[in-house]
Amino acid sequence: MTFCSKCGKEVPPNSEYCPYCGTRVSSESITYRRTDAGWGIVQVLAIFFGGILLLTSIGLVFGGGFLIFGMDSISQPDGYFMSRLVQLNVNSYAIYQSGIDIRMDGMPMWRPMQQDIITVKLIATNNNPSKQVFIGIATTADANSYLDPVEYSRLIQQPWIYDRWSQNKLPTFTLHLGLAPSQSPVSKNIWVASAFGHGTQTLTWVPQSGDYSVVIMNSDGSKNVDVSVQIGAKVPILRGVGTGLLIGGIILGFIGALILYNFLLRRR
């Protein structure tokens, strides 16, 4: 567009004189030209990757926010996620859950403390008020050495999580034939963690790498174990993971928005 140097009005292209004031259009008249170079491959790729970063950041922010704030609403005040209360009743000397294989060696560059990763909680109550309950965790080798000659019930399947399909399902056991234990579980020095007594007993354990088993018995080693059990876990590291996801999402979102602004909004 060309404008008259005297009256300032727009002059039609290729005009020698201004149609409004008659002034000769000189070569010094101001000319505005609009250029449109079109979309280059660099601009297209930048907008694509900027959009990907922005969408990824939304997922990271939501995931991190859930780990930080959302999980607080489904955990207990002490930070544990607990199962529903389950009734376990067997006509043998012990309830045995084996095959808990734990590998927590971590990466060479990142070795958090075990208690920062997970702490396990077992809560048990003997439904026979005259009996004390015993809960013990031992290495599978030690537990097998103690229980091999004993008649016990191995827990095969138990729906710990409450839902409409598992609510009425009964636990599944297989019976290992044997005799009465020669010693009560309380007298054995094989447990990495244990709790026993009247009423409700709580066992907390910070897992270490290895192969472990859980044993529930009457404290005196007598037959007919009838208990109510809950299991739970506290995973403090989830809060740190959530914080990392949240911060990473914010950073990626800022980078993606900056790329879109530079290659899309500023262009307009």
Q: How many helices (H) and strands (E) does the chain have?
A: 4, 13
Token pair, residue 174, equals 């297989």
Model confidence band, residue 109 (pLDDT cutoffs 50, 70, 90): very low
- Per-residue pLDDT at 113: 55
Identity of the residue numbered 49: F
Token pair, residue 226, equals 């009838």
pLDDT digits (tens, 9 = 90+) for 184-234: 999 999 999 999 999 999 999 988 888 999 999 999 999 999 999 999 888
Closest CA to 174 of 101, 229, 231, 97: 97
| Average pLDDT of the chain, as a whole number | 81
Query: d(Cα 264, Cα 252) in Å, to the nearest integer?
Result: 18
Q: What residues contact residue 108 under an 8 Å CB cut-off, 6+ apart? A: none
Q: What residues contact residue 259 under an 8 Å CB cut-off, 6+ apart? A: 46, 47, 49, 50, 53
Q: What residues contact residue 105 under an 8 Å CB cut-off, 6+ apart? A: 209
Lowest mean pLDDT among 17-21, 31-35, 45-49, 53-57: 31-35
H or E, element range at 41 = helix 41-68
